[in-house]
Chains A and B, each alone.
Chain A
Amino acid sequence: MRSVGIIANPGSGKDIRRLIACGSVFDNNEKANILKRVFLALDSFGIEKVVIMPDIYGIGYHALEDLDVHLSTVFLDMAVEGIQDDSTRAAQIMADMDVACIITLGGDGTNRVVAKSCGDTPLLPISTGTNNVFPLMIEGTIAGMAAGAVAALSLKGEDIAIRKPRLEIYDDTTLIDVALVDVVVSDHCFAGCRANCDETSVYEIYLTNSEPGHIGFSAVGAALTVADADRGRGMHISVGGGNERVLAPIAPGMMRWIPIRSYQILEPHKSLPIKFAPSFLSLDGEREIDIGKDEKISILLNEAGPYVVDIQKALLMARDYVNRLDKLSDLT
């Protein structure tokens, strides 16, 4: 039976948005509690092995404390530095181990760094961050059940997951980073507190899609009147000036009017150069890349981003799997 991977980010849910956008601190003990519920559900499905990324807080260790489960747990043998790269390296190792899926605990930022290296391994992202578009607000037990079905039935690719697009950031011809939701170009000159909630600083927004229900600068896409057929597609928005403006939730509790100069559907595999330099790129809500005066940075939409477990489908399969198991046990 294939195993399940777990990457829990101890740093999510504590940034400046607690001061400026009514966010609340997401305590790591609560993340450990969520993981306990994941483990209990996985165990009930007879999952034999769970592979866990060690982290500076020890979320996995705390989750296993006093937990009565049969499954075996393995902590990856890797150095932990308390930085984003921990999650990227862990995802790479888990993909190489061919785990059935990776359950992540974090926000958009956590999933972004995991998606850099998880390849075709489907993600099951549980939201424990602030402004989340990519991860799901899902109860740990339910997530465990869905992951249990994926592992027990060894489901792969399109059979169980939906492929999400990603935005790729190129320095000349070299891929330097990715984003799963949005890339925002702003006039900041420092990463500072990282979260970007200042609408007056924004030049441009690149989106993987403009579906309603987003929070953060990606919500600007849904607020624009585009044809429904275009909703699932990428978008490029120039901010400032113009005759149009839209009201969008750019962070929890922060409703802002955003002036729009122009916008267009972003076609896949068409590279768009960033025209503003020096400037700063926020990837999925966090300031990440400073662009120097002479750097040639471009953005490209690629439909072949990470796979994300289709929860409804997985739960239906889980139901059938459990019923079958139950009947079998009646026979014996």
Chain B
Amino acid sequence: MKFSKKDLIKLYTNLVRARTFDMLCTRLLAEGKFVSFYHEGAWGDAAGVGTATFLRKDDILYPHHRAHGFPHMIGKGVDPKYYLAEHCGRATGCCSGVGTVHALFEEYGILGQSAILGAQFTVSVGWGLAAKKNGTGQVVVASFGDGTLARGTWHEGANVAVLWKLPIVYVLENNGIAQYVSLEKAYPLKDMASLAAGYGMPAVVVDGQDIVAVAEAVGEAVKRARQGKGPTFVECKTIRVTSHGYGSPHMVDGEQRDMNMVEELKKREPLSMYEKNLLKQGIITKEDIEEIAKAAKEEAAAAEKFAMESPIQEDASILDQYLYAE
């Protein structure tokens, strides 16, 4: 799969925007402006942006909880200010300020999330079945982490997805850690792609720090799904350089994380690696980079202003409206 110059710049721009929002979210949480928590995603953000940037607007996306799905939603084309306002409990948020970390953007195929990890595996089967029956050509993309894959729902979903040849792309962002537990302590294998292969699902392992590799692999998987060839599993090897959630202990397997190792991981920072290649290939200039960074900062500042100036949601009956249909 080859990308045009425009596509490559779009990937870069979305990655810069996702990174800028990650920094903004971290700051707003630290300043006490969030009603929720925040799971930082910097350095592990290429997988989400690479996954979502070339999806169709009506494709269905279940974003990852890491970076609260900002990279995925920015990639999909969602205006992140409504999701930011949601985190701040504002009435202008995408769930009217009562959903905190939950995203809902129906017109962009983001149909809700659950705090219960692993829900994506089973709801995506329903969405995939609907897409197939309706003949819309829509594809369902479910993003999740290595810890999430340990849920039994994965096996239930994968089994039926293959059996019924559903148009689903499973994108694992394998950062080798789930909250405070390392992959080594959780699985007898390292490449989760083998689990998908066990169901006869085509599976591929890519460098999740290489945004082009992710976009290429997900692009091929989406193509298969649209052609009616069934589900695909894309395993992106990525990293987590922060603690699990902002302010939580930076521990693994009962001990402090080895910060020398974390520094080693940081060498694979995806934005600067991509930027270097784009410059070498003459696809962008230093001036383009400055311009993109400036635009992202302005977008983030405007989103912050929007959220802060929006009224705090104080009408509890909103919850009823979300819970009960007429």
CA distance in complex: A116, B211 (Å): 29
Instruction: Tell whether A245 is near chain B: CB-to-CB under 8 Å.
Output: no
* Interface residues in B156-201 (C-beta closer than 8 Å to A): 189-191, 193-194, 196-197
Contact A19 B189 (CB under 8 A): no
Contact A192 B197 (CB under 8 A): no
Contact B190 A290 (CB under 8 A): no
Instruction: Tell whether B114 is near chain A: CB-to-CB under 8 Å.
Output: no
CA distance in complex: A189, B274 (Å): 12
Partner-binding segment picked from A7-15, A136-144, A148-156, A228-236: A7-15
CA distance in complex: A20, B215 (Å): 14
CA distance in complex: A19, B213 (Å): 13
CB-CB nearest in chain B for A190? B212
CA distance in complex: A201, B212 (Å): 17
Contact A16 B217 (CB under 8 A): yes
- Contact A10 B202, CB 8 Å, known A16-B220, A192-B210, A278-B282: no
Instruction: Tell whether A263 is near chain B: CB-to-CB under 8 Å.
Output: no
Q: Chain A residues near B280 (CB, 8 Å)? A: 290, 292
Instruction: Tell whether A198 is near chain B: CB-to-CB under 8 Å.
Output: yes
Question: Which residue in B196, B197, B204, B282 is a CB contact (below 8 Å) of A15?
Answer: B204
Encoded as 1 (CB less than 8 Å from any B CB) or 0, chain A from 1 to 29 comes to 00000000011001110111000110111
CA distance in complex: A191, B282 (Å): 15
Instruction: Tell whether B25 is near chain A: CB-to-CB under 8 Å.
Output: no
- Contact A19 B202, CB 8 Å, known A25-B193, A27-B194: yes
Instruction: Tell whether B2 is near chain A: CB-to-CB under 8 Å.
Output: yes
- Contact A19 B282, CB 8 Å, known A27-B194, A191-B213: no
Instruction: Tell whether A254 is near chain B: CB-to-CB under 8 Å.
Output: no
Contact B193 A14 (CB under 8 A): yes
- Contact A191 B210, CB 8 Å, known A10-B190, A19-B232: yes
Number of chain B residues whose Cβ lies closer than 8 Å to a Cβ of chain A:
32
Q: Chain A residues near B232 (CB, 8 Å)? A: 19
Question: Which residue in A19, A20, A25 is a CB contact (below 8 Å) of B194?
Answer: A25
Contact A19 B224 (CB under 8 A): yes
Q: Chain A residues near B321 (CB, 8 Å)? A: none
- Contact A198 B2, CB 8 Å, known A192-B213, A193-B216: yes
Q: Chain A residues near B220 (CB, 8 Å)? A: 16, 19-20
CB-CB nearest in chain B for A56? B190
Q: With both chains docked as a complex, state the minimum distance between the C-beta of A87 and any C-beta of chain B, in angstroms.
A: 17
Q: Chain B residues near A201 (CB, 8 Å)? A: 2
Q: With both chains docked as a complex, state the minimum distance between the C-beta of A69 and any C-beta of chain B, in angstroms.
A: 22
Contact A292 B281 (CB under 8 A): yes
CA distance in complex: A120, B191 (Å): 34
Instruction: Tell whether A327 is near chain B: CB-to-CB under 8 Å.
Output: no
Q: With both chains docked as a complex, state the minimum distance between the C-beta of A26 and any C-beta of chain B, in angstroms.
A: 9
Instruction: Tell whether B221 is near chain A: CB-to-CB under 8 Å.
Output: yes
Q: With both chains docked as a complex, state the minimum distance between the C-beta of B184 and any C-beta of chain A, in angstroms.
A: 9
Q: Chain A residues near B210 (CB, 8 Å)? A: 190-192
CB-CB nearest in chain B for A201? B2
Hey, which bits of chain B sit against chain A, CB under 8 A? 1-3, 8, 189-191, 193-194, 196-197, 202-206, 210, 212-213, 215-217, 220-221, 224, 232, 235, 277, 280-283
Hey, which bits of chain A sit against chain B, CB under 8 A? 10-11, 14-16, 18-20, 24-25, 27-29, 56-57, 187-194, 198, 201, 278, 290, 292-293
Closest 5 CB pairs of A and B: A25-B197, A14-B205, A190-B212, A192-B212, A189-B281
